[in-house]
Amino acid sequence: MKIIFKIAQNEIRNLCYSPVAWFLAIVFLAQCAYFYATPLALYAMVQEITQINNPKFEHFPSAVTAPLFIHGKTIFTNALENLYLFIPLLTMGILSREINNGTNKLLYSSPIRLRQIVLGKYFALMFYNLVLVGILGIFMVSGAFQIKSIDYPILLSATLGFYLLGCAYAAIGLFMSSLSTYQVISALGTFMVLFVLGRIGGFWQQYDFVRDLTYFLSMAGRTAKMMAGLITTKDILYFVVVVYMFLGFTLLKLKGGREMRPWTIKALRYIGVVVSGVLIGYIGSRPALTGYLDVTTGKTNTIHPRSQKILKNLDAPLEVTLYANLLGAGVDQGFPAGRNTYLTTVWEPFLRFKPDIQFKYVYYYYNDGSLDNRQYYNVYPGKTEKQIAGITAKLYKVDSAMFMPSEDIRKIIDPNSENGRLFLQLKYKGRKINLRTFPDSDFWPDEALIDDALKRLITEKGPKIYFLSGNLERSIHKTGEREYSRISVDKTNRNALINHGFDIDTLSLAKQDIPADINTLVIADPKTSLSEATLAKVTAYINKGGNLLVCGEPRKQEVLNPLLAQMGVQFRKGTLVELSKNETPDKVMPYVTAKGANLAEEITLLSWKEILQSKDPDKDTLKVLMPGAMALSFTANGPFTISPLLETRQDKTWLKAGKLTIDSVPPSFSPEEGDAKERSFATAVQLTRQINNKQQRIIVSGDADFTSNLRYLYNPFGNAFYSWFTDGTYPQYLPRHIEVKDNLLLISHRTGKTLKIIYIWVLPGLLLLAAILLLIRRKRK
C-alpha cells in the first residue's frame, strides 16, 4: 500500500500543478456558486416581501433545503448533469502522458506492479473528486448559516451519489487514457462510453435475455434515489462494479502491452472481468439481498408503516400477473420493454419488505367491438380480430406470436370485465383479486390501492355497500352527471369504491331482503315514496343497528321524512338560499364542522383539522358546494347522538319556503311566504348509538348532488363517509405527519444579493488568483 500511496501522492502533486485541473475546479466552483446563490437570493426576496406584506408570516409552508440544493435547476442537479464534462478532461492524460513522455517504460521496468500503478493513479483521481465534493461542501456549510435547521441527511445522501458517480467516471476515463497516446482521443472515448452507459438501459428491453443485463449496466438515474434521500446497497454496488470493471480493463490493457499472448486469451480476460462484474452486481441487486437507508425526515421513500404491517401478515408468496391486451388500453405500458420500469415504479417499494413476490406476464389480443364501439373494426374494415392484432403488433413493433388468441384467453379470464384494459391480478393462497390501471397521468395503481387489494386477499371478504333501487334513485351504473357511477363502480376511476376493497351492488327491497352481510345501505334521492314493504324492511334494518347513508333533494322531503322520523331527523320544508356574485342562489356552500373533519383521514379533512386546531380566525373555512340543498332539523334527546357535519355560514343563508327561481333576479327574504332565517343551518348530520354491541353509524345529507358524477371531484369528503362506516378499515389512508424544520431563511434579501456577488465572482476569482500564483511559482522553480 505504501507504493500505491506514493504513486497517488506523486499524481496528486501533478494535478496540483496542472492548469487543466485548476481550470476545471474554477469552472465547477463558478457553476455551483451560480446555481446556489441565484435561488437563494430569490427565496430571500420572496420571504422578505411576504414578511412585509403579511405580519403573521412565520415560515414557508414547506422545506427550503431541497428546493435550494436538489430540486430543479439547483446546485446538485447541475453538478450531476455536468460532471461528465469535467472528469474526461481530467483523466485524458493520466496514462497517455506517461506513454508520450516515455516514463511508462521506466515504470514497467521498475519493481512496481501494474496494479499498484493503476490503483495509485486512480486514488489520485478519487482525491480530486473529494476536492469537488469539498467545493459542494462550501455551500452546504454556508447553507447551515442561511437556512434554519438545514436538512443535512438529504444533502449528505446527494453528496454520496455525486462522489460515487465521479469515481465511476474516473475509472472509465483512466481506462480510456490507457488506450491512446492522444489525449483528445482519450477524452472523446470517455465521452462516448459515458454516453453509451447513459443510454444502454433503453436498448433491447424487449428481449428477456438481455433486459436485466442492459438495465443493470445503465448509469442513467443511478443517483436519483440518493438525490431523493434513499440510499440502497444495489446502487452503491453498481458504482463499485463499474469501478472494478474499468480498473480491471485498464490493468489488462497495460498487461497486454507487455505480453505476447494470443488475442483470444486477452479477449477471454476481458470477458471474465465483465462476467464477474455483472454477476456480482446481479446477485447483489436481488431484492432479498438489497439494503435500504431512507434519510428523509418523514421516511417518504419508504412505504407507510400501515403498508408494512399488511405485508407482515402475508405468510405465503404473493403472485402478481400482468394481463396486457394488444387491442386494449394501456398495453404499451405492459410490453417487455417497459417491464423494468413497471417493477421499479410499482413494486420495488414493496419488494423491500416482501422479496418473495413472484411476477408473471400474460399477453393476449381480444376485442369483440363492444368496448370501443367497434373502433378497430371501423378503422380496418373487413379485417378479422387476428388480422387486426397482427397489424397492431407491427405498429407497436412487437412480435405478434407472443400474444395469446382471444379464444384461449377467455378460458382464463373475462377481458370484458376489465374493459379490455391492462390490469394486474394478485393471487395469494388460492385467492385472487384484480388490481387495475387508470387512464390518468399516473396510470399504475398507487400504494393505497395495492394495500386495499392485499387486505382483501388476506381477509377474503370486504365491506358490502348496497344502493337502494326501485324508486328512481341515483344509479350506480349510469354515467350521467347526476348519477353515482364514478364514485361507486367505475373501474377506470382510481377513487371509486370498487377499487378500494368494497363490494358494490344495488338492492330492490320490493323483490329482495336486506342481506345479512351488508355493511352500509345507501338511499340516494328516491323520487317516489317508499312502499310500505320497503319502509318496513329499512326500518327493521335500522332497528338492528345497520349503517345507513341517506341523501335527499329539495321538494321531495315527504319521500324520506317518514323514514327519518324514527331517528329524530327531518328535512325541513323549502330550499336553502345563499346569495353570491357568481353563482345562482340555490348553490349553497356550507362548511365542514369539526365532526366532519374527524370522519376519515382524507387529505383535505386532515388539512382542515390542522386549521381548526390552530384556531386562527383569519383562516377560511373548508366549504362544500351543494347545488340545491335542504336544511335539517333534529332532536337532541332522541335515541341517537346527532352532530352536524356541514353547516351554512353564519347569517349567510335563509330557507326559502316557496318556489325558488334561480334564472331571474335574486330572490328576497319573505317571512310572509314562510321563509325562515336562522344564524346557521345544518345540511348534513351524523347519527350514532350503541346497539347490539356495536356502534351504529348513519349520515343524512340534505343534498344528493355534491357526490354525483359531475361534482364528486370537488367533494372534500371523498370516500370519508364510507371509511367512517367501515371504522377506517377501507379505503386505506396513508397520512404522513412530517415536521418540517428547515422552512425559514436566516438572511435578508440584501444579504442574499451580497452573497450572490461573493459566491459567483469573489470565490472563483480568489481560486483563480491562487492558481495563477501557484503555477507561476512552479514555473519559476
Q: Which of 227, 69, 59 shows the shortest CA–CA distance to 741?
A: 59
Give which of 260, 268, 255 is closest to 118, Cα–Cα.
255
Domain endpoint, select from 459, 480, 515: 459
Domain end: 459, 493, 519, which one?
Answer: 459
Q: What is the DSSP string of 614-654?
A: HT-TTSPP-B--EES---EEE-TTSSSEEEEEEEPPTTSEE
Cβ-based neighbours of 199, under 8 Å, separated by 6 or more = 218, 220
What is the C-alpha separation between 178 and 171, in angstroms, rounded?
11
Mean pLDDT for back-to-back runs of 10 residues, the chain (781 residues): 85 86 93 95 92 86 92 90 85 69 53 81 93 95 94 95 94 86 80 77 59 68 88 92 92 76 79 88 84 91 95 95 95 89 92 94 92 86 92 92 93 92 95 95 95 93 94 94 95 95 94 93 95 94 96 93 93 92 89 92 88 64 89 89 92 86 82 87 95 94 94 90 95 90 92 93 92 81 64
Among residues 269, 33, 252, 302, the alpha carbon closest in space to that of 143 is found at 33
CATH (domain of 399):
3.40.30
| 8-state DSSP, 571 | E
Please tell me the distance from the alpha carbon of residue 507 to that of residue 484, in angstroms, as a whole number: 15
SS3 769: helix
Cell of 376: 378497430
Please count the CA atoms within 13 angstroms of the CA of 178 that sit on its side-chain side.
22
pLDDT at residue number 218 = 73
> What's the pLDDT score for residue 274?
87
Q: Does some domain include residue 776?
A: yes
Residue 568: left if φ>0, alpha if ψ -120 to 50, beta else—which one?
Answer: left
* Residue 354 sits in the same domain as residue 471: no
- 769 within a domain of the structure (yes/no): yes
The answer on 521 and 483 residing in a single domain is yes
Same domain, yes or no: 628 and 707: yes
The answer to whether residues 445 and 435 touch, using CB atoms and an 8 Å cutoff, is yes
111 shares its domain with 24:
yes
Cell numbers placing 142: 454556508
Same domain for 425 and 478? no
Amino acid at 406: S
Rounded CA separation 527/606 (Å): 35
DSSP assignment letter at 745: B
Same domain (yes/no): 483, 452: no
- Round to whole Å and give the CA distance between 290 and 355: 9
Domain residues for the domain of 356 are 305-459
The number of distinct structural domains making up the chain is: 3
Task: Give the end-to-end CA distance of the chain in Å, rounded to a whole number.
Answer: 31
Distance from C-alpha of 133 to C-alpha of 90, rounded to nearest angstrom: 16
Nearest to 595 by CA among 568, 555, 622: 622
Given 440, 459, 478, the domain boundary residue is 459
| 30 plus 166 within the same structural domain | yes
State whether the Cα torsion 665-669-672-674 is positive or negative: positive
pLDDT of residue 745: 93
Q: How many CB atoms lie within 10 A of CB 536?
A: 12
Which pLDDT score, from 0 to 100, does residue 210 have?
60
Same domain, residue pair 573 and 711? yes
Structural domain includes residue 145: yes
- 550 & 448 share domain: no
pLDDT at residue 156, rounded to an integer: 95
CATH number, domain with residue 587: 3.40.50
List Cα–Cα distances, 778 to 614, 667, 719, in angstroms: 66, 92, 74
In a domain, 522, yes or no: yes
Cα(571)–Cα(550) distance, integer angstroms: 11
Same domain, 351 and 483: no
According to DSSP H, which parts of 439-498 are helical?
Answer: 447-459, 485-488
Residue 281 lies in a domain: no
**Is residue 575 a part of any domain in this protein?**
yes
Cis peptide before 764 (omega within 30 of 0): no
Q: Do residue 455 and residue 474 come from a single domain?
A: no
Closest CA to 72 of 219, 185, 227: 227
Whole-angstrom distance, CA of residue 282 vs CA of residue 297: 31
Residue 63 within a domain: yes
Residue 716's identity, in one-letter code, is P
479, 602: one domain: yes
Q: What is the pLDDT of residue 110?
A: 57
Separation in Å, CA 720 to CA 645, 726, 736: 12, 10, 17
Asked if 133 and 80 touch (Cβ cutoff 8 Å), the reply is no
Domain contains 349: yes
